[in-house]
Amino acid sequence: MSATALRRVFILGVPVDDVTEEEACTFAERCLANGGVHQFATVNPEFIMAAQHNAAFMHVLQHTALNVPDGIGVLWAARRKGAPLRARVAGVDLMVRLCALAAQRGWRVFLLGAQPGVAARAAALLRERYPSLRVCGTFAGSPRPEEATEIVQYIRAAAPHLLFVAYGAPAQDLWLATYLPLLQTPEQGLIGMGVGGAFDFIAGVQRRAPKWVQRIGLEWFYRLVRQPWRWRRQRALVHFVWRVLREEVKL
């Protein structure tokens, strides 16, 4: 299933879907009901800028089933294009919402990535929140090709409906594009979604910004204050703004 039924806004060549969190969950239900494998991505300005210099990453983002707008900068750019997106859909929030839905529907969930022990801790806390949640496996591992065979075999044996991968972008998204087709089974559908630092937030390894900071769109600044080393990554936001404005001039 593609996202052709959804309204897509292209920002510097990267498609972003105009969905709310609830609509993304409804879309996920449809994907699983139809069977096959489906890749979701959580697009923010860093993704978009990385894709400008990484053709493989751009290709992946242009062929995913769903790209949710994860980042206030993405919403800003869409408004500048005259095609506003209705809501920000943060990757960690969508993951938690999908886990809640999985607990209701009986879907199996697999957590892959992050530092050793973090995925297991996140899974335990998710099960505390949603006692009916069926976590069929957790694995740290890495996106290195030499580990792929073991990881693919482990995930296939677990047969999840939802596979969350926390390798960071673009590694997680490239990994999913490469190996998700190998995880397909004829009996059920499978959704793979890269979630970046979501396991860290759920497990309490990293503290997320307060809700009021998230609402005013300054979660990125909160993370920068708490993690000053991120300043190099935040330069991408400056380049993103410049590229979007330059694109307007061209038009």
Return per-residue pLDDT of the chain as tens, 251 residues: 344 478 999 999 999 999 999 999 999 999 999 999 999 999 999 999 999 999 999 999 999 999 999 989 999 999 999 999 999 999 999 999 999 999 999 999 999 999 999 999 999 999 999 999 999 999 999 999 999 999 999 999 999 999 999 999 999 999 999 999 999 887 899 999 999 999 999 999 876 656 654 565 656 544 554 555 454 666 777 888 889 998 876 65
SS3 state of residue 70:
coil
Cis peptide before 15 (omega within 30 of 0): no
The predicted pLDDT at position 19 comes to: 98
C-alpha to C-alpha distances, 197 to 15, 16, 243, nearest whole angstrom: 22, 20, 26
The arrangement of secondary structure in 8-203, i.e. its CATH architecture, is 3-Layer(aba) Sandwich (3.40)
* Each residue's pLDDT tens digit, 220-234: 544 554 555 454 666
SS3 content of the chain, % helix, strand, coil (to 5): 55, 20, 30
How far apart (Å, rounded) are the C-alpha atoms in residues 172 and 23? 23
CATH 3.40.50 residue ranges in the chain? 8-203
The residue ranges of DSSP E strands in 47-97, in sequence order, are 66-69
The predicted pLDDT at position 2 comes to: 44
Chain centre to alpha carbon of residue 97: 13
Strands of 189-194's sheet in order across: 66-69, 36-43, 189-194, 162-166, 108-113, 134-139
How far apart (Å, rounded) are the C-alpha atoms in residues 178 and 143? 11
The answer to whether residues 104 and 123 touch, using CB atoms and an 8 Å cutoff, is: no
Give the containing element (helix H, strand E) for 11. strand 8-11
Give the containing element (helix H, strand E) for 42. strand 36-43
Instruction: Tell how strand 8-11 and strand 14-17 pair up.
Output: antiparallel
The predicted pLDDT at position 222 comes to: 46
The predicted pLDDT at position 38 comes to: 98
The predicted pLDDT at position 55 comes to: 98
The predicted pLDDT at position 85 comes to: 97
**Which structure tokens are listed for 88?**
């920000």
**Residue given tokens 């929030």 in the structure block:** 93
**Which structure tokens are listed for 114?**
């992050």
The predicted pLDDT at position 236 comes to: 77
200 contact partners, CB below 8 Å, separation of at least 6:
114, 118, 166, 206
Q: What is the mean pLDDT of the chain?
A: 90
Chain centre to alpha carbon of residue 205: 19
The predicted pLDDT at position 92 comes to: 97
